[in-house]
Amino acid sequence: MRVQVKPYLFLREVLGNRYISMDLPEGATVKELLQLVQKETGLPENLTVKSASVTILGSNNETGLIILINGCNIRQLQGLQYRLQEGDEISLFPPAAGG
């Protein structure tokens, strides 16, 4: 199945693309997607850019990202165990600070 990944803020710069189209096996989870993004892009578990730091996917299944599936926060779904579907749009937001 094919999904679209949309990185935001400094993740967009690090990944080098505005949108990433990815092919996944049927029934893949958000966790498996993040593992594949890390593997294919070489993202480390913890990423620090311009004094911002985020855990992409830690060894304890933690992530510092805000992840939306078709506009819905994964916390309202099944978290990292949510099973993706054909055509899903996954938005990845690192934490941001400002004033």
From residue 75, give the alpha-carbon distance in Å to each of 8, 52, 71.
19, 23, 12
More confident residue, 87 or 12: 87
Which two structure tokens, joined as six digits, stand for 52? Answer: 């911002």
10 occurs within a structural domain: yes
98 occurs within a structural domain: no
Give 23's strand partners: 2
16 occurs within a structural domain: yes
35 occurs within a structural domain: yes
What total of structural domains would you count in the chain?
1
Range of the domain at 61: 2-93
Q: pLDDT tens digits for 25-54?
A: 999 999 999 999 888 888 777 777 666 677
44 occurs within a structural domain: yes
pLDDT at 99 over 50: no
99 occurs within a structural domain: no
Prediction pTM value: 0.85
What is the CATH classification number for the domain harbouring 9?
A: 3.10.20.30
Which two structure tokens, joined as six digits, stand for 6? Answer: 């949309």
